[in-house]
Amino acid sequence: MILIVMTAIFVSIFGCKKNHREEIAIHPRTQSLYQEIHRPQFHFTPESNWMNDPNGLYYHKGKYHLFYQYFPDSIVWGPMHWGHAESNDLLHWKHLPIALFPDSLGYIFSGGAIVDKNNTSKLGTNDNPPIIATFTHHNIAGEKAKTNDFQKQSIAYSLDGGYEWIKYAGNPVIPNTQKIKDFRDPKVVWHEPSQKWILVLAAYDRVKFYASANLIDWEFLSDFGIEGDKRLWECPDLFPMNVVGTNEHKWVLIVSIQKNAPNDGTATSYFIGEFDGTVFKSEVENQEWLDWGTDNYAFITWNNVPKDDGRILGIGWMSNWQYAQIVPTENWRSAMTLPRELTLVKSKSKYSLHSLPIREFQALRGASIALNQLEIIGEKVLEGSFSASQVELDITVNLKKTTANSFGIKLQNELGENILIKFDKREGKMFVDRTNSSTHKFSEDFFKNIHSAPIGFEKEKMNIRLIIDAASVEIFINNGELSFTSIFFPSEEFNTISLLANDGTCNIINAEIHPLKSIWNKKGEEN
Ligand code: FRU
C-alpha cells in the first residue's frame, strides 16, 4: 500500500507527461494474463504497465533485442526505464528484466544501441566486444527549475550481450551546452566511408548529427530541419539503403513528428537523400509519411542485422500521444506495431520507402480460405472458421472492372460498434473511420475525425492487405506502397467482417483469409 501511495505521489508530481493526468491505481487483473479483452495476440505488449517508444534495437548472437520506454509502476507514463525483451524470430518474445533504471542524472529516455564489434569504445575487449546503448538522461529537478539543459546524452554498455548494463562513469557524453529544452533520443550508425560512428538526435524542430571514433567523445557536425517548420521532432534514425533492384545507394532519415501529423497528433515521417559523413541533404522538400495512420510512432530500425539477411527491419509504438494514456486497457498500456521490413523503391525518379510486415509473420497463418472472383454489391459478410479479431485478409481488387464509387471493408460487432476502411475513387483517398468503434468514448481526440490518406486508383489492380488483431488493424496497400495503422477498443470484440461496394460493384480477383495464431498460450506464456 505504501508503495502504491508513494508511486502515486511521485507520478503526480513528476511524471505526468504532456498534461495527461489520471488517477494512478494498480489495476486488478480482471482476466487471465494475455487473455484480456483488447490484449494483442501477436503484437508485442509488456506483460503489465506502461510502455511507449521502442529503444535500443539490435541483433546479436541469434537474438533480436527490443528495449522500450517503460514505467513499471503504473499504466500511465512516469519515470522512464528501459524495458527489455528478446526474440529468435521477431514474432515470439521473451520478457527480460528491466535493463536501465533511472539514476541521479535522470530518467532514461529513448535512444538506440549498437554492437561495438571492434571495441572502438575500449569498454569491452577485442574478444568480447561491448554492446553500447545511447540514451537521453532527462533530469526532473532541472525540468522543474526550468534550466533548459535537463536533457543530455549518455551511454551504457553491456559485456554479456545485453542482459546486464553498466552506465558509463563519465556520463553525459553529449552535454546540452546550448540549453535546448528538447534535446534527445540519440541513435547511432556506423559510417563506413569516414570510419566513424554517427549519432543523430532530435533538437526541438530539427535533428543534429555528431561523429565519434570511440562512441564516447562526440564532435558536432551539422543540423537538418525544414525551413519554417516549428513542429517538435523526436526519435530520429539514420541508415543507408539500397534502391530495390539497383546498386544505387541512399541515406534515409526517419523522424517522428509530435504534433499536427496528417491525421492529427503524432506520426513517423522520413526523408531520403545523401549523407556525406557531415551533412544530410534531403532530395525531397517536405517529409513523407512512413505510415499514414494515427498509430505508428517513434518507428526505428534494428542495428546489426546479419549481412546475409540484409533487410532493414524496424518497429513502431502503436499509439499516439493524443490518447495513449487513456485508452481502455487495464493491466498494460500500448503495443508495438508488427516488426516491418522497409524497402527503398524508385519510381519515375521519385524515391519512397515501402513497408511490409516481416515475412516471418506468415508462420502465424492457420488454414487459409481462398475466395476467387467476387462481385460485391452492397455488403457481403465473409464466412468461415476464423476470428474477425485475429486474422489477415489479402484482397486484390480489379479496379478496371470495379464500377462502385467506393468500396471497402467493415469490422463490426453485435453492439453496432464498427471500423470502416473505405477506398473512394472520386476523392482519390482511403478513409479509416473508427468514430463508431466503441460506445465508450474514452477520449475526444480518438473519436473526433475520420482519418484518410491520398491513394491512386489508376492501376489495373489494387492489393489491400489487412492484419487485424484484438485492438488494431495494419493496412498495407500495393505491397507496402502505403501503410496505415489504427488502433481501436470495441466493448466486445469485432466478430464480423464484410466487404462493401457503394453505387456499383466491386470486382475482387481474389481474397485470401488467413486465420492467425496467437503467440501466447492459455497460460500467458509464449507459444
Ligand atoms: C517520444 C518521446 C521521446 C522521449 C520519450 C520519453 O514518444 O517523447 O522523445 O525520449 O518519448 O518517454
Please choose, from the candidates 458, 401, 450, the residue with its C-alpha nearest in 3D space to the C-alpha of residue 430: 450
- Kindly tell me if the per-residue pLDDT of 442 is higher than 90: yes
| pLDDT score of 520 | 86
DSSP state of 18: G
Average pLDDT for residues 42-47, to the nearest whole number? 96
Task: Quick: pLDDT tens for 230-274.
Answer: 999 999 999 999 999 999 999 999 999 998 899 999 999 999 999
| pLDDT score of 525 | 56
| pLDDT score of 14 | 35
- Kindly tell me if the per-residue pLDDT of 27 is higher than 50: no
Confidence of residue 286 (pLDDT cuts 50, 70, 90): confident
The finding on whether 325 has its CB within 6 A of some atom of ligand 1 is: no
| pLDDT score of 8 | 36
The finding on whether 341 has its CB within 6 A of some atom of ligand 1 is: no
The DSSP annotation for 406-444 comes to EEEEEEE-TTS-EEEEEEETTTTEEEEE-TTS-SS---H
Q: What is the pTM of this model?
A: 0.94
Confidence of residue 90 (pLDDT cuts 50, 70, 90): very high
- Kindly tell me if the per-residue pLDDT of 318 is higher than 70: yes
- Kindly tell me if the per-residue pLDDT of 465 is higher than 70: yes
The finding on whether 474 has its CB within 6 A of some atom of ligand 1 is: no
Task: Quick: pLDDT tens for 190-202.
Answer: 999 999 999 999 9
Average pLDDT for residues 13-35, to the nearest whole number? 48
Cα 189 from Cα 125, distance rounded (Å): 20
Give the percent of the chain with pLDDT over 70.
Answer: 93
Task: Quick: pLDDT tens for 171-188.
Answer: 999 999 999 999 999 999
Average pLDDT for residues 280-294, to the nearest whole number? 93
In total, the chain counts a number of residues equal to 527
User: Of ligand 1's atoms, which has the minimum distance to the CA of residue 235?
Assistant: 9
The finding on whether 267 has its CB within 6 A of some atom of ligand 1 is: no
**Residue with CA nearest ligand 1 atom 7:** 53
The finding on whether 320 has its CB within 6 A of some atom of ligand 1 is: no
Cα 114 from Cα 134, distance rounded (Å): 8
| pLDDT score of 5 | 33
Which of residues 520 and 403 earns the better pLDDT score? Answer: 403
- Which domains does the chain show, CATH number per domain? 7-357 (2.115.10.20), 365-515 (2.60.120.560)
Phi, psi of 122 (to 5 degrees): 60, 20
The finding on whether 53 has its CB within 6 A of some atom of ligand 1 is: yes
- Measured between alpha carbons, how far is residue 451 from residues 390, 421, 424, 467, 501 in Å? 23, 10, 13, 18, 19
The DSSP annotation for 259-274 comes to S--TTSS-EEEEEEEE
- Mean per-residue pLDDT over the chain, rounded: 93
| pLDDT score of 3 | 36
**Residue with CA nearest ligand 1 atom 6:** 109
Q: Is residue 53 among the annotated active site residues?
A: yes
- Kindly tell me if the per-residue pLDDT of 117 is higher than 50: yes
User: Of ligand 1's atoms, which has the minimum distance to the CA of residue 321?
Assistant: 7
**Residue with CA nearest ligand 1 atom 9:** 234
Grid coordinates representing 428 are 482519390
Please choose, from the candidates 52, 9, 229, 23, the residue with its C-alpha nearest in 3D space to the C-alpha of residue 138: 52
| pLDDT score of 522 | 54
Grid coordinates representing 264 are 492529427
- Kindly tell me if the per-residue pLDDT of 19 is higher than 50: no
Please choose, from the candidates 102, 180, 181, the residue with its C-alpha nearest in 3D space to the C-alpha of residue 135: 102
CA of 308 to the centre of ligand 1 (A): 33
User: Of ligand 1's atoms, which has the minimum distance to the CA of residue 69?
Assistant: 12
Confidence of residue 33 (pLDDT cuts 50, 70, 90): confident
| pLDDT score of 146 | 96
| pLDDT score of 12 | 35
CA of 439 to the centre of ligand 1 (A): 30
